[in-house]
Amino acid sequence: MIYTMTFNPSIDYMVTVDHFQLGEVNRTTSEYLLPGGKGINVSIVLNNLGIESTVFGFIAGFTGQEIKERVEKDFNIKTDFIDVHNGYSRINFKMKSDKESEVNGNGPLITEVHLQQLYDQFKHLKEGDVLVLSGSIPKCVSNDIYYQIMKKLSHKGIEIVVDATGELLMKVLENGPFLIKPNNHELEEMFHVKLSGLDDIVKYAKKLQDMGAKNVLVSMAGDGALFICQNGKVYFSEAPKGTVKNSVGAGDSMVAGFIAGYVQTHDYVNAFKMGVATGSASAFSDNLATKEEVEELFKNVQEVVYEY
């Protein structure tokens, strides 16, 4: 079974405004609501690809109930949320205009009692399951929380995927995550360097592998993707051709595609290609990737062994 964890899910209020004017009354030309959060995005894309998953996370208030209902009813995905009763799940406002802007909320207060409830949920996971720890965490939670989760699960034989940045990611490496997915800009931030080409990206991605990650998937937007594989090889794929319509969720979709490819075939190269196709399909769509969109792009994804 696949499980995704979103510490701070949201209702994403997406609007389009023609030529937004600061300090003036502006009217939307389109608007819609979606359940948000990186782990939720991963589960939605997995569902679109025909793969079941369960969503973990913390919710609160009427917005939390709306998130739960939308995930379950709109996408037919099983949830096992913990209701924390301390505040409200956040509403994130995202506006497309001449420039894209967003305002993100803080979310509810998560206490040690709630974290223990989460650890109790994880006791039911078993060998061979996949757990995705994805996204940022609220300020009320320690930035070693992913490390603590992995430490508690280290004896269970679970494949853990971590899609996070900075210290949140660096702290988990010693626990040997199955897969991590930084992008090239996050690599620069983590190592305080300026990357000048593929060789540099490979060099620092390999450092993450040396520090404990089994597999490292690096997204580079229009410049393609790199995969530092557990088998010792480095694979590169150019980005598929298409018009980028929406960058939100593309990285989550790449993670979902990789997981889908891996659980279906246990072949790393197939998983990498599925990740590239799925991330690109979401970028080329107004919404998250569909199975048909992914299958069409997958035909054109070509991987090469990158000689470093």
Cα 257 versus chain centre, distance: 11
Q: How many Cα atoms occupy the beta-carbon half-sphere of 129 within 13 Å?
A: 18
| Per-residue pLDDT tens digits for 132-178 | 999 989 999 999 999 999 999 999 999 999 999 999 999 999 999 99
100 vs 76, more confident: 76
How far apart are the C-alpha atoms of 165 and 188, rounded to whole Å? Answer: 11
pLDDT at 307 over 80: no
pLDDT bin (cut points 50, 70, 90) of residue 35 is very high
Amino acid at 132: V
For 8-34, what is the mean pLDDT? 95
pLDDT bin (cut points 50, 70, 90) of residue 31 is very high
* Token pair for 204: 């620092």
How far apart are the C-alpha atoms of 58 and 60, rounded to whole Å? Answer: 7
pLDDT of residue 55: 98
pLDDT of residue 305: 87
How far apart are the C-alpha atoms of 170 and 274, rounded to whole Å? Answer: 26
pLDDT bin (cut points 50, 70, 90) of residue 306 is confident
pLDDT bin (cut points 50, 70, 90) of residue 262 is very high
Domains of the chain: 2-305 (3.40.1190.20)
Q: How many Cα atoms occupy the beta-carbon half-sphere of 40 within 13 Å?
A: 28
SS (H, E, C) 33-68: EEEECHHHHHHHHHHHCCCCCEEEEEECHHHHHHHH
Which residue among 12, 129, 163, 252 is the active-site one? 252
How far apart are the C-alpha atoms of 84 and 68, rounded to whole Å? Answer: 13
What angle (nearest 5°) sits at the alpha carbon of residue 14, between those of residues 251 and 281?
A: 35
pLDDT bin (cut points 50, 70, 90) of residue 276 is very high
Task: Tell me if residue 252 is catalytic.
Answer: yes
pLDDT at 308 over 90: no
Tallying the residues shown for the chain, one arrives at 308
pLDDT of residue 287: 86
For 229-243, what is the mean pLDDT? 93
For 195-205, what is the mean pLDDT? 93
For 15-41, what is the mean pLDDT? 95
What percentage of the chain carries pLDDT values higher than 70? 100
pLDDT of residue 200: 94
184 vs 246, more confident: 184
Burial string for 108-124 (b: 16+ CB within 10 Å, else e) reads bbbeeebbeebeebbee
pLDDT bin (cut points 50, 70, 90) of residue 100 is confident
How far apart are the C-alpha atoms of 97 and 79, rounded to whole Å? Answer: 34
Beta bridge partners of 54: 3, 78
Q: What is the overall mean pLDDT for the chain?
A: 95
